[in-house]
Amino acid sequence: MWKQVKKIIQQSNRFVITSHVGPDGDALGSELGLYYYLKSLGKEATILNATPPAKNFTFMGKNRAVKTYNPKRDRKLIDQADAVFILDISEWKRLGAVGEDVQQSNAKTVCIDHHICLKQLFDVQVIDNKAGSTGELIFRLIKDMKKKLNAKIAEPLYIAALTDTGSFHYSNTSPSTHTMVAELLELGVNPLNCYNQIYEQHSLERFRLLGQVMLNAQLECQGQLAWATVDKKLARKVNADIDDCEGFVEMLRSIQTVDVSVIFREESPQCTRVSLRSKKTTDVHKIARSLGGGGHKRASGITLNLPLKKAIPKVLGEAKKSFKKRGVK
Ligand code: 5GP
Ligand code: MN
């Protein structure tokens, strides 16, 4: 498959690069890494995402190369593209309006991802769910093409690896993650700066929201299932944004007895975002997939077109089924 990707890069001149809605560190990091690589080959490339970056990655969105898709302005870039790279996601639905327009164009589609994907949906698909981040796959591609990396390519790839491995402690962290990171640091990446920009820009309101959410957190299934909700009313009460709950699900997981943590976030009266994490045993991807979501074994998500009140029993019901199978009530 890499061979086909290389051939497409060699034979094409105009590229569009995209990723999932609410692009995060790995989405933007792998996009920017690939973007600077294509630029270094003298190619034309544009990054088009259906929605702006997730809150703690807005600093990456300030890069002029990253555009939030505006069909009137950008549709022609898709129509004129020889190839579209789809990174860190392997389904059409989560590409939003960009995906809809790409499907109507003649561009070749190349998907590079590390999520679990069971179908062939794109012209060329390189999926490695053992990779710690999609950034790692972009690094592999560039090395394979015998091209030297530079500092511009290095920083976004470092951010991709840093954020998707939970600062290098998740089970997807491998020797090759660290080998790559060593090389990126040699190129001048500043880890303190990267960390500061992503993890040390919180508002006090976010911590006030954390307090409120944790006050209402629940433990079930003999303490192995932890869950909490974040609704707009609660966020308003402490003057926080609903997006400020990023990271809460990992905190719930870190409770000693917990294997599965779930955060329910009210997007709108009819839409609930669900984040699932597991520590060691439960495959939360199975739970997410059964309800139309996806992700990884230890980290998955679902968007449900249901109000919070209806989403909660639906998801908890599935989670409890998986505990029950193991004799946990
Ligand atoms: P998060 O909880 O941080 O939003 O997402 C955790 C993981 O699940 C990420 O790898 C993310 O890409 C994936 N994910 C979240 N929501 C969805 C969804 O609705 N569909 C799919 N396929 N994956 C999702
Ligand atoms: Mn990723």
Domain ranges of the chain: 2-199, 204-324
With a 6 Å cutoff on the Cβ, whether 265 touches ligand 1 is no
CA-closest candidate to residue 248, choices 28, 21, 51, 55: 55
With a 6 Å cutoff on the Cβ, whether 302 touches ligand 1 is yes
* Selected residue with higher pLDDT from 303 and 117: 303
| Tokens linked to 16 | 């569009």
Give the number of the ligand closest to the Cα of residue 131.
2
Work out which ligand 1 atom sits closest to the CA atom of 88: 12
Residues 121, 91 contacting (CB under 8 angstroms): yes
User: Strand runs (DSSP E) across 174-295, as ranges?
Assistant: 218-220, 225-230, 260-268, 271-278, 294-295
Calculate mean pLDDT across residues 79-84.
98
| C-alpha 207, offset from chain centre | 23
C-alpha span between 296 and 166 (Å, rounded): 14
Per cent of the chain over pLDDT 70 is 100
Give the number of the ligand closest to the Cα of residue 116.
1
Q: Within the chain, what is the greatest distance between any pair of CA atoms?
A: 60
Q: Enumerate residues 6+ apart whose C-beta is below 8 A from 185.
A: 158, 191
Question: Looking at residue 251, what is its pLDDT?
Answer: 98
Question: Looking at residue 148, what is its pLDDT?
Answer: 83
Calculate mean pLDDT across residues 88-103.
97
**Three-class secondary structure of residue 179 per DSSP:** helix
Burial (0-12, 13-18, 19+ Cβ within 10 Å), 96: middle
Residue with tokens 């699900």: 249
**Where residue 292 falls among pLDDT bands split at 50, 70, 90?**
very high
Work out which ligand 1 atom sits closest to the CA atom of 164: 10
Q: How do the residues of the chain divide into helix, strand and coil, expressed in percent and rounded to 5? A: 45, 20, 35
Calculate mean pLDDT across residues 151-170.
97
Residue-averaged pLDDT of the chain: 96
**Three-class secondary structure of residue 42 per DSSP:** coil
With a 6 Å cutoff on the Cβ, whether 298 touches ligand 1 is no
In terms of phi and psi (left: phi > 0; alpha: psi -120 to 50; beta: otherwise), the region of 172 is: alpha
Q: Enumerate residues 6+ apart whose C-beta is below 8 A from 241.
A: 55, 205, 206, 235
Work out which ligand 1 atom sits closest to the CA atom of 246: 3
With a 6 Å cutoff on the Cβ, whether 275 touches ligand 1 is yes
Question: Looking at residue 71, what is its pLDDT?
Answer: 97
| Tokens linked to 62 | 């300030």
Question: Looking at residue 201, what is its pLDDT?
Answer: 95
Give the number of the ligand closest to the Cα of residue 21.
1
CA-closest candidate to residue 316, choices 214, 226, 213: 226
C-alpha span between 287 and 249 (Å, rounded): 16
Specify the residue with its C-alpha closest to ligand 1, atom 11. Answer: 295
Going across the sheet that includes 66-68, the strands are 66-68, 44-49, 14-19, 83-87, 108-113, 124-127
**Where residue 303 falls among pLDDT bands split at 50, 70, 90?**
very high
C-alpha span between 18 and 89 (Å, rounded): 9
Q: Does the domain made of 2-199 have the CATH classification 3.90.1640.10?
A: yes
Question: Looking at residue 19, what is its pLDDT?
Answer: 98
What's the full length of the chain, in residues?
A: 329
With a 6 Å cutoff on the Cβ, whether 295 touches ligand 1 is yes
Question: Looking at residue 55, what is its pLDDT?
Answer: 87
Tell me how far the alpha carbon of residue 262 lies from the centroid of ligand 1, in angstroms.
12
Q: Confirm whether pTM is higher than 0.85.
A: yes
Reported CATH class of domain 204-324? alpha beta
Residues 111, 128 contacting (CB under 8 angstroms): no
Helix 151-164 with 175-186: angle, nearest 10 deg: 150
With a 6 Å cutoff on the Cβ, whether 156 touches ligand 1 is no
**Where residue 329 falls among pLDDT bands split at 50, 70, 90?**
confident
Q: What letter would DSSP give residue 52?
A: P
Question: Looking at residue 146, what is its pLDDT?
Answer: 81
State which of 300, 302, 303 you would mutate to test the pocket of ligand 1, scoring each by most atoms of that ligand within 8 A of its C-beta.
300
